[in-house]
Amino acid sequence: MARQPRSLAGKVVAITGGGRGIGAATAAALVGAEAKVAIGDLDLAVATATADRLGGDTVAFPLDVTDRSGFTKFLEEVEGRLGPIDILVNNAGIMPLGRFEDESDRTTTHLLEINLHAVIHGTREAVKRMRPRGSGHIVNIASVAGKAGFPGGATYCATKHGVVGLSEAVRVELRGSGVELSVVMPGIVRTELAAGLKEARFFKSVEATEVADAIVKALRKPRFEVYVPASLDAMNRITRLMPRSVAEWIVRSLKGDQILLDAEGDARKDYEARAAASAPTTDREAAG
């Protein structure tokens, strides 16, 4: 007998980086499924505007995911306002681009803090809350870059590989606990993060709403790996069966190795500036 989809009505959901892009689209989709959604975002004004637009029980909180005590406080505030968290979506992330040798150590550290360490911390905090109750679902937003390497985004790829690896291991630890875990791996998503990126051959970009719909589907009928579009799953499986030289030739033929390197700088200027501005300034930088 086919498993019936789970109802999301009344479920308490916390979404990091929920003010814009995939996070905001996911919040909208979950509100449409009658869940109670809490949006955490570094930009409280944007988070509040998104929450007000969605209505219902949607609430907004300030959240800097690199502040681990602040991240924990965010989860506590969500539970204090809405009740125990049923679903955590670790969505916050940045994607500054450029050649590896040109990347500053500050940028490297900031990428690791937001894209990986915050996901580790959020996942751990969610497990601590969910395992004792024997239920819950953690959704970690990675990328197809978590399964391959793309020139122009070396450290970004490293962080997303880390998210996939973390999710693989924690999923096994949670087996039989009643807590589900999904890792979402989109290709190019038409949000501000992907500004200036060109289309890849044979694999069209997707909208944030398509990723949100895939997340909701995985919450209703839990599964671990979620590719968006689904065709990326088949491509990943096929290329991994091939000799590396053949797989790399296919990627080059499809111009996949140029997607991040050929990003249009002018189109990314505003996004790159905002991502850089979100990095904390060290005492040495402030003095120097």
Asked if 5 and 221 touch (Cβ cutoff 8 Å), the reply is yes
Spatial separation of the C-alpha atoms in residues 277 and 223, rounded to whole Å = 36
156 is catalytic: yes
Q: In the chain, which residue ranges form alpha helices assigned H by DSSP?
A: 21-32, 44-54, 68-82, 105-111, 118-130, 154-173, 208-220, 231-240, 244-253, 265-277, 283-287
Residue (of 1, 28, 12, 19) closest to 215 by Cα position: 28
The active-site residue, picked from 61, 156, 227, 271, is 156
CA distance 232 to 186: 8
Q: What sign does the dihedral 104-110-113-114 (CA atoms) show?
A: negative
Catalytic center residues: 156
